[in-house]
Each structure stands twice: as C-alpha cells, then as structure tokens.
Structure 1
C-alpha cells in the first residue's frame, strides 16, 4: 500500500493535465500483472465517435502526442470496441473485455461536465480480481477528481474557456527552449520532425470584439455577457482540438494556433472573423471582431504577445472587422517595431 500512496502523492503534485495523465499511467503500470496502459482520446470525426491513443508505452517509456486527433492515422471508430462503446453510450464508469486468451482489458472513462474525451485503458494477462479492480478504481477516482479540480482552476467562469493564468503557464512552456523536456523528459512528440519539415509553426492571435462597450451601454451587461458566451462558442468550433483558446478578460480573447502554415493561419483566422460577422446575436444583431496575429518562434512571450497586440490595435484603428499579421505590417512600413529585446514595455 505504501508505494501506491507515494505514487498518488507524486501524481497530485502536478499542475498540468498531460503530466498528470502520464503520472497516473506510470503509477498503474507498476502494479503487478499489468501488461499495458494507455490513455485514449475520444472524439467525433465526420459525425461518428472515434478513438485514438494519446499517451502510451513505446520502447519502455511513456510517449504522448497532442497532434490533431482527426488527422491521426491511428484513429479507429469507437464501435470497434463494443464494450467501451456501450459504456460511453450509457454513461457508465467502467467496461471490461477479454478480446483474446491471456489478454483482459479494463476501460475507465474520465467524465467531466457529463462528457467524456479521455479514457484510461489497462490490460493485464489474467482476469481482474475484485480486489485489483477496487485498487485500480481507487487510483482512477483520485486521478479523475484531481483532473476536475485542475480544469476548474484553469477556466474562465463565464465562458468556460481557459483563463489568463493558464495562458501564461502554457505559453511560457511552449516558447521557452528546453522547458518541457527538462521538466518532463518522458514526454515525446513523435510527429514533430515531419511537422517542422513542412515549414509549419505556431501562431498567437489576439481577438477583440468591436464596439463592445456600446453593446453593454445600449443593451445592458446581461446581453453583453451573452455576446461573450456566443463568441466563445464560435471560437471553440472554429479551431481544432489541439489549438488553445483563452479569455483574457473583458472582450479580449487569445488563440494559440498550432502547427500550421502562414497561408492556412490567414485562412483560419479570417474564416473565424467571417463566421462572427454572419452570426445573428439575439437582441444585439450583428457583431464583428478584429484580430492581430504573429508567429511564436521568435522573441520572448512578452514580446510575442505585445506584437500581436500591436497588430490588433492597427486593425481596430484602420476600420475594424479585419485580420492583420504583424510581420506584414512591419514589412510594409505601416507599423514600427515598438518592443525591443533590451527595452520591453509591459502593458
């Protein structure tokens, strides 16, 4: 019992969903008779439920990927796992299967807000005893409860998007060389090399609702809050599952668009802007947004955020309802560099 308690202490010391996931799999893998552990991602593709491995054991170490689920060649229709499919459909807490002799599998779906997007899969060489199931489910419940606590602390109360605190933590980690690997060497992204070969990179966009103060002044804060919630919903549906959307407060949002080309970034951001423009907001009518974006490969987090802000405010000062790319504005002379390496202004 003592080793399990030590693993639980280590597991709940993490403040990141992926590292917590790796930690619980590492804990489960050390239990007797366990042959394989995986974290599976459940998602919808083409209107049908699918499943794909997100964290698994490869060459003796745990490997994780945060690539786009729908484009993963390892994805499978959920119906190929009938016991798990039935469990998810009925909102059950576990499923068991014996797919072939000497292989027994337990699935434990992670339910959050009455939805499931993650499932732990545990496979061993013999049937699960009542005591073993009790131990496994006990570890899992600690993990699930802690995942819920992490999720609550990371979210904006009104829109349900990630909050500013979460952005600071995630963005600093993605833009600081070696930070992720030094803290967690077991995390490996096997698809990274091919992505870099295609000249894709990450992009940061700052989004601001045009004339939002007028919405509050004319219709009241309840309708203003409804506009914020609806914009948040459009943001969710406009970007992929491995992109990240944050609410900074007020009418400002931030998007981290991951692993794509500049041409595609322009297309995706403009498609989002047009979707907002064409949406009818109850009582308020039409609403537009302005957006400034920049690549995240150069500069400190403060510099990158400041550059996206400069592009955003250029868009707002020159007609609103448009997308502006920082480097294009610098190259054309429409915008001067305001943030230097030795003199960073925080605002």
Structure 2
C-alpha cells in the first residue's frame, strides 16, 4: 500500500485538549438523535472530512436508517446539486446499499474495518460500530489514505465513550420493560416532529437543495395514534401480571416489526402505546395502523392466545402542535373505538366529518352522538 505523507492529525499533543472539549460537549446532550448527529460532526472534524454517513442496520433486515453529516460545500462546485448551509445533517430510511451490504458481510467475517482502495488516491472506509458483539451501525467516509493504527485506536476510544453515554441516554428515555420511548420524552418529541425530514433523494446518492427538501416535506404529514390493549385488566386478573407483562413485551415487539425505524414508538403508560409516524395522508396512516391491528389480532400469544387493540388517531396539523391538544384528539377517537366494539381504528377527523363527534370551537369541547 502506497504511503502518503499528509494525514489528518486526529491525535497529538496539540489536538488532545480539543478532543477532550469535544467529548465534554457531546456528553451535555440529552437527546439521542442530536447526540448521534453531534458524534458524526465530531468525527468529521477529527478526520477533516466533508461528509460522514452512519448506516444503522436492523439485524437480518434489508432496511437501515441512513444518517448523514455534511460540512460546508462550495456552491461553485455544482450549484444545481449542492446548496448547503455551513453544516447540514439529515436522516432517512432506505434499503441497505449493495456496497454497504458487501462491506457488512466482510466485517462480520473479519471484525475489522472495510477499506476499498480507489486507485491509490482515495480510500473508502466502512467502520463498524459493535453492540453486544453484533454490528449495530456502519460509519462510511473517504480519506486520502488508509487509517493507521493510532487513528483506529482513537476512533475506537471515541466510539466506546459514545456507546457508554448512549446507554445512559437510553435508560433515561426508554421504558424499562418494553424498551420503547417513555412518556417523559413524548412532549419533547412532539416539539421536534417538524424538524424530522424524509429526504428520499439522499437514498440514491443525490443531494437535494433546500427548495427540493421543502417541497418534499410539504407533501408529508404526521399522524399520532394511541393504541390500547383491549380487556387488559381481564388478562392480568385471569393469567397474572407476569403473563400481562409478557403481552406488553410482545405488543412492543409487534410494533417494532410493523412500524419503520424512523417512527416514534412510546409506551405511554399501563396498556397504552403511542406511535408518531410520517405519512402522506390520512388514508396512508389508516393503512399502516390497520396492518398493525390485524397482525396483532392474528398473533398467537402464549396462554392468552388472542389479544386485540383499539386505535384512536389524529393527523398532526401545523396549527395544532400542543401535545395536550394532539393527544386529546386521538384519545377521543380511541374512546369511540372502545365504546363501539373494540379491535378497530377511528380517526378524530373522520369522526368529525361523519358527525359522530361535534367540536365546539368556543368551548373547545366535544359532543358524542
């Protein structure tokens, strides 16, 4: 392998205080997604590279979540393609690209970073992030040289510290039984949903300018649904709380299998679960939620056998961003589903249209018919 004289100095006596400062800054963040973006930014600065990607793999699934951090790019390079601010980050759910899938297979065999030499001028590096001895994520970036042992050690130490801190964040934000997000993080998530983006163009290796991203977001909406296990008290009374907990665990498992990685899944308390998903319209949201309802009803739970869920949902509007307003609308639709047969889905907006609910604007109250 050809040696190169110019390498980014990611660890030396002069840089060490800067690295400590970066670590200190990272550990002040309390939001997992912000933390992961900041980690990518820190690594990009340490390696002196313009872009770094994180592919969060999902076991044997062909799906992954792509998270990208890009530093400033000169608009003269290609004004039609690049239109970045000083820094930009985004996420999207994609199929695992063939080159990343090839690298993943090699990494699982060797346990080492995957390095592809591009004619001795650029090196494409796929760096694994392990969790419980399994590859959890893959970091992808390019350098003018292969990583040396010292650089690999620095990255390993940085990722080790980041991994331990992320565990602490998870413990604070996730329900201990199911591993889903907890109620503590719900209101914060409502405030952040407008910042979530779905940049399909990134999946194909294309960079969208700000106008294209705005148009894409204008065509998408958000749906919030409350999902309540039908007759859960009877399950606890008849089979005991251990079996009841097993039902909660299996419901959370079905949720993880049937919703996308980017959807926000919460255990809201007791037998209630909440999902916030990005959808094109109400019909699309109904399709997604009804699939979950049907899969749950068809699942054979140990001892209990059949468990069903009732679902109340609402579309999140730009002028209705208060958590109490949004959850209140979904709760009214859930109440209607419970009172009218259970194991069904109702949307607040549809109940209003059909005259089953009447909202009084002045009093802010709801009448049922």
Q: Deviations over 1:194-236 (max 9, x none)?
A: 43453x3000000001110000001111111111111111111
For 2:121 and 2:22, the matched residues in 1 are separated by 28
Count of matched residue positions in the alignment of Structure 1 and Structure 2 = 325
Whether 1:8 and 2:27 are equivalent positions in the alignment is no
1:28 alignment partner, one of 38, 43, 47: 43
Paired position in structure 1 for 2:146: 127
1:161–1:247 contact (8 Å) kept in structure 2: yes
Q: Deviations over 1:232-280 (max 9, x none)?
A: 1111112112111110121000011113221111111112111111122
Paired position in structure 2 for 1:213: 233
For 2:226 and 2:100, the matched residues in 1 are separated by 40
1:154–1:165 contact (8 Å) kept in structure 2: yes
**In structure 2, the residue corresponding to 1:336 is in which secondary structure?**
strand
What TM-score do the two structures reach when normalised by structure 1?
A: 0.82
Q: 1:339, CA displacement in angstroms?
A: 8.6
**In structure 1, the residue corresponding to 2:228 is in which secondary structure?**
strand
1:104–1:125 contact (8 Å) kept in structure 2: yes
**CA RMSD of the aligned region, Å?**
3.0
Matches within 5 A, 1:196-345: 196-198=217-219, 200-297=220-317, 298-299=319-320, 300-337=322-359
Q: 1:166, CA displacement in angstroms?
A: 2.0
Q: 1:286, CA displacement in angstroms?
A: 1.2
Q: 1:189, CA displacement in angstroms?
A: 8.1
Paired position in structure 1 for 2:94: 69
**In structure 2, the residue corresponding to 1:28 is in which secondary structure?**
helix
Paired position in structure 2 for 1:38: 52
2:235–2:244 contact (8 Å) kept in structure 1: yes
Paired position in structure 2 for 1:17: 32
Structure 1 residues 93 and 152: CA distance shift in structure 2, 3 A: farther
Structure 1 residues 158 and 110: CA distance shift in structure 2, 3 A: same
Paired position in structure 2 for 1:112: 131
What TM-score do the two structures reach when normalised by structure 2?
A: 0.78
**Contiguous gaps of at least 5 residues in structure 1:** 178-187
